[in-house]
Amino acid sequence: MSSSFPTGPFGAGNPLDGMWQMMDQLRASFDKRGSSGRMGRGDVRAAVLALLAEQPMHGYQIIREIEERSGGSWKPSAGSVYPTLQLLADEGLVTTEESDGRKTYIMTDLGHAEAAKSQAPWESSHRGEHAGFGALPKAGIDLAQAAAQVGRTGTLEQVQEAVGVLEDARRRLYAILAQG
């Protein structure tokens, strides 16, 4: 068990120590499945085009909007967005306007035509973790953190009740898969 976690009312070496290991394994399994937030260069391009087709924006607005629309599963870095914006400007798909020391990117007619050719990555049905599934890892980690909090601070009765809730949730998740 990591020494950074409090031991709660049950003391060190209790059966709840396994919960910490389980949380670490859960977090690691989601990380391995692609929840790192990284997508390909074409995805950044498509996302930027989709957003600028709606309205002019500056770079950090684009980053925040992509993160919001992807349900938090993808937050591109400035190091991927700004070069993409420069490339789009070089291709004549966007122009820039400077105000208050910030460059605002504005879609050209050619850019609107290009944006119409593709879907934004958050709308694409072939992108599992980036098309609505990004919320699942977050929900799983949030659930594990809540369970850990009960384990750290709850009474024996509260812990037993929480175990029942988690067992029921597991059964219900498998029932969802059985429907498909």
Q: Which of 93, 91, 79 is nearest to 49 (CA)?
A: 93
The total number of residues shown for the chain amounts to 180
* Strand pairing category for 102-107 and 94-99: antiparallel
What is the predicted pLDDT for the residue at 108? 95
As a whole-number percent, the residues of the chain with pLDDT over 90 amount to 39
Handedness of CA 48, 52, 54, 57 (dihedral sign): positive
Is the pLDDT reported for residue 178 higher than 70? yes
For the segment 125-150, the average pLDDT, to the nearest whole number, is 69
Average pLDDT, the chain: 78
158: left (phi > 0), else alpha (psi -120 to 50), else beta?
Answer: alpha
Amino acid identity, residue 86?
A: Q
Over residues 101-129, mean pLDDT: 79
**Residue scoring higher pLDDT (150 or 42):** 150
pTM of the model: 0.51
**pLDDT tens digits along 45-55:** 999 999 999 99
pLDDT of 33 > 80? The answer is no
The model's confidence at residue 6, banded by pLDDT at 50, 70 and 90, is very low
Partners of residue 46 on adjacent β-strands: none
pLDDT at 129: 44
DSSP state of 144: H
CA distance 175 to 180: 9
Q: What is the structure's pLDDT at 122?
A: 76
